[in-house]
Amino acid sequence: MATVETLLLPQALDGQTLYRRFVEANRGAGAIVTFSGRVRGETADGAVSHLWLDWYPGMTEQSLTDIAEAAAARFDVLALLVAHRCGEVQAEDEIVFVAAASSHRRAAFEAADYLMDRLKSEAALWKREIGEGFARWVEPTAKDADDLKRWT
């Protein structure tokens, strides 16, 4: 069974540090794929200064664990790491970081892709975009729903 680690972080997420730690813990892996998601500074409504990511203590952590464990069961991976921010996240800061280690590249690519598609729609988080003169709660898009269907 693969090693699975999930982190819900109210403070800064540092993907580079997580990456180095992940590599160190998986020296035998032939393939490591990572994804770093960042807060876009621009949307259709204008410039975003920061996000507020509301969360449900306990349930949110469990949702990250459930998604990561499903990925570990589905793909031939050695280890998975999911780190997600909560609370206030500034524009251009990292909001999510995932890493997948495997013996071969395909499973690592697919596991990272799957993790992100599920996190977008199934992580128990609620995103609010705040910018100059506007603030709005973000709902998942039709594209997010389509992305999720790729794995059913």
Secondary structure of the chain: what % helix, strand, coil (to 5)? 35, 40, 25
Give the binding range for other proteins (CB under 8 A) out of 20-28, 41-49, 106-114, 122-130.
122-130
Shortest Å, Cβ 27 to other proteins: 29
Could you count the other beta carbons within 10 Å of the beta carbon of residue 12?
Answer: 11
Q: How far apart are CA 78 and CA 103, in angstroms?
A: 7
Helix/strand/coil for 20? helix
Given candidates 27, 59, 149, 150, which one binds other proteins under the rule CB under 8 A? 59
Shortest Å, Cβ 29 to other proteins: 25
- 50 contacts other proteins (rule: CB under 8 A): no
- 88 contacts other proteins (rule: CB under 8 A): no
- 127 contacts other proteins (rule: CB under 8 A): yes
Burial of 105-128, coded b for 16+ CB within 10 Å and e otherwise, reads eebbbbbbbbbbbbbbebbbbebe
- 93 contacts other proteins (rule: CB under 8 A): no
- 134 contacts other proteins (rule: CB under 8 A): no
Binding site for other proteins (CB under 8 A): 37, 53-56, 58-59, 62-63, 84, 95-96, 116, 119-128, 137-140
